[in-house]
């Protein structure tokens, strides 16, 4: 593992090599210590379908119980289900064992608080600081040792919440293709849609521990799209491994990503006077077409840095109820606390039911602007920021695109790489403008080839 355990989405690594049972034990013991200072804490643990899930669940459960905590597991559930159960069923925290859209060899551990939100950075830092001391922390014995149990009925709390978000609307007569990526939503996703009256064609709902995300799901939606056309379905739904994100397809098999979903739901809520401050929160990577389409519907797009954590923080700080990323990771702040692929799909279906419009018509209210993204490998990730010549060139490019396009220049957070993204109505123009900037950065700071 790297020196810093917690990344932007918990602790991740190759299971049993980097993310080991002993590390899982240490994380559990440290988390119980930090979150149980004033009382005996109660944790809910959910996992996806990876072969290493039970191994790591056993490790972290042992760590938690070694500090006196109570642990309850519903088994395989989507990431947002753990957040929902933690928030509504009297738990002090939730633990998710998943590596989301990564291949099956990887796994991860992340925590949610009793409020259903990811733990604050400060609390994660406290847990991380205790990990090296996990084996030497004072531990209870006798009747004070923690216990663990299974409760599969906890899944019903989440499934019922999903159905309740439809406010009584039914999906009778609607045909849906669901690709669960052989992941965490292979049972609950089809079940909820069927309970609401839909006819479901289920794909990749047979996990075997090593087929999660393998050529299927939100990263590989081709089969889902083909099945929508073949079966005459009204919508296709493709989850990632832990089902916190989703990619949709309309009845013509065309993909509908997170930007279009934010546009569809944002405009619909605004029209009904239900969108807080008539604002949607996206990131700097959301297409300008989203900004234009929202503006036409009387809605403002507020952008944050890349990452659902930043979107969620802005939504909580200002009370916004809709935000997300182009990747299909959407947050409905009035209904849940974290990204939720199933909830996202249901909210789109709700708009379809309430407007009587097919998904294609709703999605076509937005035109995606051409975009180009270039990366320049550099010797220094920061020098360009104080380089007058480069800053003048950036300002001049931004001026050329004012009102009809946009430019974003940023350093990679993990590599010595400067990323240049330009967007506008004319593909050749933005490629030329981005290319000129890239050439200048490469000339002054580029890595010799």
Q: What angle do CA 80, 55, 150 make, to 5 degrees?
A: 60
The secondary element (H helix, E strand) that includes residue 282 is strand 279-283
The count of residues in the chain is 449
191, HSE (Cβ side, Cα atoms, 13 Å): 13
User: Token pair 């040792």 is at which residue?
Assistant: 145
Q: What are the Cα distances from residue 99, in Å, to 15, 32, 80, 131, 182?
A: 10, 22, 14, 20, 13
Closest to 365 in 3D by CA, of 275, 259, 285, 237: 259
Q: Binding site annotation covers 100?
A: yes
Q: Binding site annotation covers 240?
A: yes
Q: Binding site annotation covers 242?
A: yes
> What would the DSSP string read from start to end of 371-413?
EEEEEEEBS-SSGGGG-HHHHHHHHHHHHHHTTT-EEEEEE-S
First to last CA, the chain: 31
Q: Which distant-in-sequence residues (6+ apart) come within 8 Å of 56 by Cβ?
A: 15, 19, 21, 24, 47, 97, 107, 109
In three state form, how does the secondary structure of 206-224 look?
A: CCCCCCCCCCCHHHCCHHH
Given 100, 218, 286, 327, the catalytic residue? 100
Closest to 135 in 3D by CA, of 89, 66, 219, 208: 66
**Which spans in 53-187 are helix H?**
53-66, 79-88, 121-130, 154-164
Q: Which distant-in-sequence residues (6+ apart) come within 8 Å of 285 by Cβ?
A: 306, 325, 326, 421
Closest to 150 in 3D by CA, of 15, 26, 54: 54
Active-site annotation holds for 100: yes
243 forms beta bridges with: none
What is the distance between the alpha carbons of residues 166 and 142, in angstroms, rounded to a whole number? 48
Instruction: Please enumerate, by residue number, every residue annotated as part of a binding site for Mg(2+).
Output: 100, 240, 242, 244
Instruction: Please enumerate, by residue number, every residue annotated as part of a binding site.
Output: 100, 240, 242, 244
Catalytic site residues? 100
């Amino acid at each position: 593992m790297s020196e810093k355990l917690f990344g932007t989405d918990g602790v991740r690594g190759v299971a049993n090599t980097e993310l080991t049972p002993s590390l899982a034990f240490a994380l559990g013991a440290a988390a119980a210590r930090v979150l149980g200072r004033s009382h005996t804490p109660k944790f809910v643990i959910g996992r996806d379908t990876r072969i290493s899930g039970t191994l790591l669940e056993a490790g972290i459960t042992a760590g938690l119980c070694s500090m006196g905590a109570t642990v309850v597991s519903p088994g395989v559930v989507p990431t947002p289900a753990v957040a929902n159960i933690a928030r509504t069923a009297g738990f002090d925290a939730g633990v998710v064992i998943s590596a989301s859209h990564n291949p099956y060899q990887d796994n991860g551990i992340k925590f949610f608080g009793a409020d259903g939100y990811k733990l604050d950075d400060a609390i994660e830092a406290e847990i991380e600081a205790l990990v090296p001391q996990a084996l030497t922390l004072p531990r209870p014995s006798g009747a004070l040792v923690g216990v663990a149990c299974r409760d599969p009925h906890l899944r019903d709390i989440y499934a019922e919440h999903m159905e309740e978000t439809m406010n009584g609307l039914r999906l009778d007569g609607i045909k849906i293709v669901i690709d669960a990526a052989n992941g965490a939503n292979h049972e609950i996703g089809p079940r909820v849609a069927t309970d609401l009256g839909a006819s479901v064609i289920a794909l990749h709902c047979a996990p075997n521990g090593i087929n999660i995300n393998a050529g299927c799901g939100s990263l590989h939606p081709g089969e889902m799209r083909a099945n929508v056309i073949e079966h005459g379905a009204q919508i296709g739904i493709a989850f990632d491994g832990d089902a916190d994100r989703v990619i949709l397809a309309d009845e013509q098999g065309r993909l509908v990503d997170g930007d279009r979903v934010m546009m569809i739901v944002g405009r619909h809520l605004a029209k009904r006077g239900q969108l807080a401050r008539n604002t949607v929160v996206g990131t700097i990577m959301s297409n300008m077409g989203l900004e234009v389409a929202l503006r036409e519907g009387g809605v403002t797009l507020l952008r944050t840095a890349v990452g659902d954590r930043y979107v969620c923080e802005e939504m909580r700080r200002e009370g916004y109820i809709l935000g997300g990323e182009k990747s299909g990771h959407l947050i409905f702040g009035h209904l849940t606390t974290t990204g939720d692929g199933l909830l996202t799909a249901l909210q789109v279906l709700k708009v379809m039911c309430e407007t009587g419009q097919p998904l294609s018509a709703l999605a076509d209210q937005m035109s995606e602007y051409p975009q180009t993204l270039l990366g320049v490998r550099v010797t220094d990730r920061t020098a360009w920021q104080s380089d007058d010549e480069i800053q003048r060139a950036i300002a001049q490019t931004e001026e050329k695109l004012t009102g009809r396009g946009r430019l974003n220049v940023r350093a990679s957070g993990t590599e010595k790489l400067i990323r240049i993204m330009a967007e506008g109505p004319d593909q050749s123009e933005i490629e030329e403008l981005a290319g000129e900037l890239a050439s200048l950065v490469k000339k002054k700071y580029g890595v010799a080839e």
